[in-house]
Structure 1
Amino acid sequence: MKALIFAAGFGERMRPLTEHTPKPLLSVGGAPLIVWHLRKLAALGVDEAVINTSWLAEQFPQVLGDGSAFGLRLTYSYEGTTPLETGGGMLHALPLLGDAPFLLVNGDIWTDFDFARLSRAPAGLAQLVLVDRPVYAARADFALDGDGKVRADLPATLTYSGIGMYRPALLRDWQSVIGPLPVQTGTAPRFALAPILRAQMAAGLIDGIHHAGRWTDVGTPQRLAELDAQLLREGA
């Protein structure tokens, strides 16, 4: 099985820490954020992780190497000097991921979620991990119905965690949802994944599971410091 780790963003909310270090390489609890994911992915049996990169991209292979230190193989999907956003980044990485479902995790989160809970063959086009709306979020985004479907048309209490199992077919007709894009430098399209997910939710093709455990969007220096202190106290 393969995995995709989103790691291409500028980390603007994390400045000044990200002026010289990509956010997924910032240390928390004694290890870079992304290393927490790599260890869990290797324990799950993932044999290759694709990391999409843009901002300070050269630092990822310098720090992580070829992945052998973590028990898997690392491949880097370089997007150029401007990130392609979540949808464009996934589309750009698909040739490296193949045709089978793959596990996606955002490189700037921390969680105790057990990746083994995800189905390796989602019934629909994706299975998303949802968490309770964190206190720092202005609103929730989604709900889970009685059939385990992710819904955007019900009263929302949950937030997408940045973790899921995806089928490459999710992006097969991306242009029908996104529409024409402005002329962009280079050849890779730049677009968000959220509109595509919402369109497929309406079609009943996005499943979900609720994680009630620990999860942090490590998006600001304050959250990073709080999580770091907590993990060091626990000896994680």
Structure 2
Amino acid sequence: MTDQAMIFAAGEGKRMRPLTLNKPKPLLLAGGKPLIVWQLEKLADLGIKKVVINTSHLGKQLPEALGTGATWGLQINYSPEQQPLETGGGLLQALPLLSAAPFLVVNGDTWCSPLPDLKLEPGKLAQLLLVSNPDHHLQGDFYFDQASGQLGNQAFANARAFTFAGISLLDPDCLAPRHQQAAYQRIFSAGEAFALAPLLRHLVDQGLAAAQVHGGDWQDVGTPQRLKQLNEQLA
């Protein structure tokens, strides 16, 4: 079990406009409180002690709203970005704020209940949480055979397509230069923007990632309509 996590909260929330013109997406209300507060509460329930939050779009509002994290028994550190660095770049810049142990990663616009206690399997650098494909993403992201635990980027016998939930447990070694070079044909420096997805796909191809399927509630709260649906559900 890990005691540290990172929440991606630096995106511009373009799909959520006009709601995000004056407020960062993680601070939008769901069931009467900000989306990110639900996540902080669930992280605290898991035994997480330290949380890193990257910020960019209207980023000053996040530390103003959340403070040091003491309200939830957490220690929050912020990783401000002059411009959004995407998921990979945001994570690479925030690494010095995390210890060398594995850490939980949560997208700031996901709703997941309960938040699962992910564990790394021996020899793996990533444990991915998968969900059944929602209506807006029917093609899925990865192929997975729940019986055997086999995970792939392409279809194979007895596998079905699942959607990546935006929640994972990562070993910091997954961002080592050798893995960056293999995934992107280059090595990034802190402050450069890049997506995390190609790295995850590289780990899957190399047999360095495992997965499990989430059986509870999950939503990608990326649009005003989906936020409305979540509010109706919580009501």
Q: Given the two structures, how large is their TM-score scaled by the length of structure 2?
A: 0.91
Counterpart residue number, 1:70: 72
2: CA distance between counterparts of 1:147 and 1:201?
Answer: 15
- Give me the identity figure in percent: 49
Q: Which amino acid aligns with 1:31?
A: K
Alignment of 1:115-154 (within 5 A): 115-116=116-117, 118-119=118-119, 121-123=120-122, 124-145=124-145, 146-154=147-155
- Quickly say closer, same or farther: Cα 1:8–1:208, change in 2 above 3 A: same
Root mean square deviation, CA, Å: 1.7
2:195 to 192, 196, 199: 192
Q: Which amino acid aligns with 1:127?
A: Q
2: CA distance between counterparts of 1:147 and 1:205?
Answer: 16
Aligned length: 226
Deviations 1:69-102 (A, max 9, x none): 111110001111x111111111111111121000
Conserved? CA contact 1:149–1:205, under 8 Å = no
Measure how far apart 1:67 and its partner are.
0.2
Conserved? CA contact 1:178–1:191, under 8 Å = no
SS at match of 1:115: coil
Identify unmatched segments of 5+ residues in structure 1.
Answer: none
- Quickly say closer, same or farther: Cα 1:122–1:60, change in 2 above 3 A: farther
Q: Which amino acid aligns with 2:183?
A: V
Measure how far apart 1:177 and its partner are.
2.1
Counterpart residue number, 2:229: 226
- Quickly say closer, same or farther: Cα 1:187–1:75, change in 2 above 3 A: closer
Counterpart residue number, 2:5: 3
Counterpart residue number, 2:30: 28
Measure how far apart 1:23 and its partner are.
0.5
Measure how far apart 1:176 and its partner are.
3.6
SS at match of 1:75: strand
Q: Given the two structures, how large is their TM-score scaled by the length of structure 1?
A: 0.91
Counterpart residue number, 2:17: 15
1:170 to 165, 171, 174: 174
